[in-house]
Chain A
């Protein structure tokens, strides 16, 4: 499985500011995903990030609030814009397994607290 790292691991931010989360993979992958996990809850897909094209967002998530970049096959960023306390969550990136397109492997997550 791929080795996935995320930066920052955690942050505390003020309302109205933005935070960019980085996801780095140790191998080239076609599909990368961004999830949100609210406290004590399950995982909700925010968007799918494909290299060379715009991200595909799930219902309830919009590009203005969660802009995503995917400049190459090993890296992606998710920005949480104009944050409010309701954005306090764990943000996780995941990648498809090499040779197994339906398997997903997750990074360690970014724990965001918005005051």
Chain B
């Protein structure tokens, strides 16, 4: 089955800096790659996703890139703000969605 690895497990940045979280997947058949943000005490919230026929997608300060050949995809957050502090999960899906272990992002004011 699919195996998703996510790095780093924790990330601390200064407000205004960029943050990058990377994931790799094992099943080349996976074709959908969402990213979720989970704030304390809440359920995961979908923030951006990308499909295998697209290499990059951007939504304001958030972007995701996908390298199908290398089987890795990344989340990029620019101009980070304290409210970006949360745990971020990547996932890969063909039929079943498998999640990475999560990255705890802390943005220091």
Chain A positions near chain B (C-beta within 8 angstroms): 1, 4, 41-43, 45, 92, 102-109, 111
B89 and A43 contact, CB distance less than 8 A: yes
Residues of A contacting B: mostly: strand
Q: How far does the alpha carbon of A108 sit from the alpha carbon of B93 in the complex, in Å? A: 22
Contacts of A42 in B (CB 8 A): 89, 99-102
Say yes or no: A109-B43 contact (C-beta < 8 A), given A42-B99, A42-B102, A104-B97: yes
The listed residue (B41, B43, B46) touching A92 by CB distance below 8 A is: B43
Q: Size range of the interface on B?
A: 10 to 19
Residue of B nearest to A97 (CB): B46
A43 and B44 contact, CB distance less than 8 A: yes
Say yes or no: A92-B44 contact (C-beta < 8 A), given A42-B89, A42-B101: yes
Scan residues 82-109 of chain B and give those whose CB is less than 8 A from a CB of chain A.
Answer: 89, 93, 96-97, 99-102
Say yes or no: A103-B42 contact (C-beta < 8 A), given A42-B100, A42-B102, A43-B89: no
Contacts of A104 in B (CB 8 A): 34, 46, 97
A103 and B34 contact, CB distance less than 8 A: yes
Contacts of B99 in A (CB 8 A): 42-43
Q: How far does the alpha carbon of A45 sit from the alpha carbon of B98 in the complex, in Å? A: 8
